[in-house]
Structure 1
Amino acid sequence: MNTNEFALTLLSGIKDFLTWIGVPRHMLDKLDEILFLVLIVVIAFLFAAVVHAVSVHFARKILKRKNAGVLDTLVKYGVFRKLTAVIPPLIVSALLPFAFSKDSAWFIVGDKVTWIYFFIALIVSVNAILNTVGDALKNNRQLKNRPMKGFIQIFQVVFTCVAVIVIVSILINKSPFNLITGLGAFTAVLMLVFKDTILGLVAGVMISEDDMLRIGDWIEMPQNGINGIVTDISLDVVKVQNFDNTIVTVPPYSLVSGSFVNWRGMSESGGRRIMREYTLKLDYIKPCTPEFLERMKDFDTELAQFIIEKQKQAADGKTVNTDNPAGLVNGTIDTNLGLLRAYMTLYLRRHPSVSRELLLMVRTLAPTGNGLPVQIYCFSANKNWPSYESIQAEIMEHFVSVLPAFELYPFQSADARDAIVSGLIESGKIDLSAISGIPWHTLRPEKDKSGSGPV
Structure 2
Amino acid sequence: MNTNEFAQTLLTWIKTLLLWIGIPHPILNKLDEIIFLVFIIIIAFAIGTAMHYITLYFTRRILKYKQIGILSSLIEYNALRKISAIIPPLIIASLLPFAFDYHSTWFIVSEKITWIYFFIALLFSVNAILNSVGDVLMSKEQLQNKPMKGFIQIFQVIFSCIAIIIIISILINKSPLNLITGLGAFAAVLMLIFKDTILGFVAGVLLSENDMIRIGDWIEMPQNNVNGIVTDITLNIVKIQNFDNTTVTIPPYSLVSGSFINWRGMTESGGRRIMREYTLKLDYIKPCTSEFLEKMKGFDVELSQFITIKQKQATEDKIANTENPDGLVNGTIDTNVGLLRAYMTMYLRRHPFISKDLLFMVRTLAPTENGLPMQIYCFSINKNWPSYESIQAEIMEHFVSVLPEFELYPFQNPSARDYIISSLIEAEKDLSTINAIPWHSVQSKEK
TM-score normalised to structure 2 length: 0.94
Q: 1:125 to 1:295 in 2, by over 3 A?
A: same
- What is the Cα deviation at residue 131 of structure 1? 1.4
Q: Could you say which residue in structure 2 is the equivalent of 1:220?
A: 220
Q: 1:411 to 1:328 in 2, by over 3 A?
A: closer
- Identity fraction in percent: 71
SS at match of 2:377: strand
- What is the Cα deviation at residue 13 of structure 1? 2.5
- What is the Cα deviation at residue 103 of structure 1? 4.4
SS at match of 2:279: strand
1: CA distance, partners of 2:388 / 2:278: 19
Q: Give per-residue Cα distances to partners, 1:284-331, cap 9 Å, x unaligned.
A: 111111221222122212212222222232233222332653248711
SS at match of 2:363: strand
- What is the Cα deviation at residue 374 of structure 1? 0.5
- What is the Cα deviation at residue 427 of structure 1? 1.3
Q: Give per-residue Cα distances to partners, 1:125-153, cap 9 Å, x unaligned.
A: 01111111222233333333432221111
1: CA distance, partners of 2:6 / 2:367: 102
2: CA distance, partners of 1:3 / 1:371: 97
Q: Could you say which residue in structure 2 is the equivalent of 1:441?
A: 440
Q: 1:104 to 1:366 in 2, by over 3 A?
A: same
Structure 1 residues 39-50: aligned runs within 5 Å: 39-50=39-50
- What is the Cα deviation at residue 367 of structure 1? 0.8
Q: Could you say which residue in structure 1 is the equivalent of 2:346?
A: 346
Contact 2:40 2:92 in 1 (8 A): yes
2: CA distance, partners of 1:397 / 1:300: 17
Q: 1:206 to 1:366 in 2, by over 3 A?
A: same
The reply on whether 1:27 has 2:27 as its aligned counterpart is yes
Contact 1:353 1:380 in 2 (8 A): yes
SS at match of 2:304: helix
Q: 1:444 to 1:223 in 2, by over 3 A?
A: closer
SS at match of 1:377: strand
Structure 1 residues 46-445: aligned runs within 5 Å: 46-322=46-322, 325-327=325-327, 330-428=330-428, 430-444=429-443
Q: Give per-residue Cα distances to partners, 1:406-452, cap 9 Å, x unaligned.
A: 11111111111111111111112x2222222222222447xxxxxxx
Contact 1:273 1:380 in 2 (8 A): yes
Contact 1:329 1:345 in 2 (8 A): no
Q: 1:410 to 1:3 in 2, by over 3 A?
A: closer
- What is the Cα deviation at residue 215 of structure 1? 1.5
Contiguous gaps of at least 5 residues in structure 1: 446-452
Quick check: 23-32 or 321-330, which moved more? Answer: 321-330
Amino acid at match of 1:279: T
1: CA distance, partners of 2:58 / 2:2: 34
2: CA distance, partners of 1:220 / 1:4: 68
- What is the Cα deviation at residue 271 of structure 1? 0.8
Quick check: 397-406 or 195-204, which moved more? Answer: 195-204
Q: Could you say which residue in structure 2 is the equivalent of 1:454?
A: 446
- What is the Cα deviation at residue 376 of structure 1? 0.6
SS at match of 1:299: coil
RMSD of Structure 2 on Structure 1 (CA) = 2.1
Amino acid at match of 1:227: N
Amino acid at match of 1:409: Y
Q: Give per-residue Cα distances to partners, 1:312-358, cap 9 Å, x unaligned.
A: 32233222332653248711111110110111111111111111111
1: CA distance, partners of 2:81 / 2:74: 10
2: CA distance, partners of 1:417 / 1:324: 45
Amino acid at match of 1:433: S
Quick check: 288-297 or 367-376, which moved more? Answer: 288-297
Structure 1 residues 9-24: aligned runs within 5 Å: 9-24=9-24
Quick check: 153-162 or 37-46, which moved more? Answer: 37-46
Contact 1:355 1:378 in 2 (8 A): yes
- What is the Cα deviation at residue 270 of structure 1? 0.9
- What is the Cα deviation at residue 9 of structure 1? 3.0
Amino acid at match of 1:181: T
2: CA distance, partners of 1:231 / 1:261: 16
Q: 1:218 to 1:2 in 2, by over 3 A?
A: closer
2: CA distance, partners of 1:380 / 1:74: 45
2: CA distance, partners of 1:192 / 1:327: 63
- What is the Cα deviation at residue 33 of structure 1? 3.1
Contact 2:7 2:95 in 1 (8 A): no
Contact 1:241 1:248 in 2 (8 A): yes
SS at match of 2:446: coil
2: CA distance, partners of 1:432 / 1:323: 47
2: CA distance, partners of 1:2 / 1:373: 94
Contact 1:329 1:346 in 2 (8 A): no
TM-score normalised to structure 1 length: 0.92
- What is the Cα deviation at residue 2 of structure 1? 5.0
Contiguous gaps of at least 5 residues in structure 2: none
Contact 2:345 2:361 in 1 (8 A): yes
Contact 2:329 2:362 in 1 (8 A): no
2: CA distance, partners of 1:6 / 1:367: 98
Quick check: 64-73 or 230-239, which moved more? Answer: 64-73
Quick check: 253-262 or 22-31, which moved more? Answer: 22-31
2: CA distance, partners of 1:57 / 1:436: 82
Quick check: 287-296 or 143-152, which moved more? Answer: 143-152
Q: 1:135 to 1:69 in 2, by over 3 A?
A: same
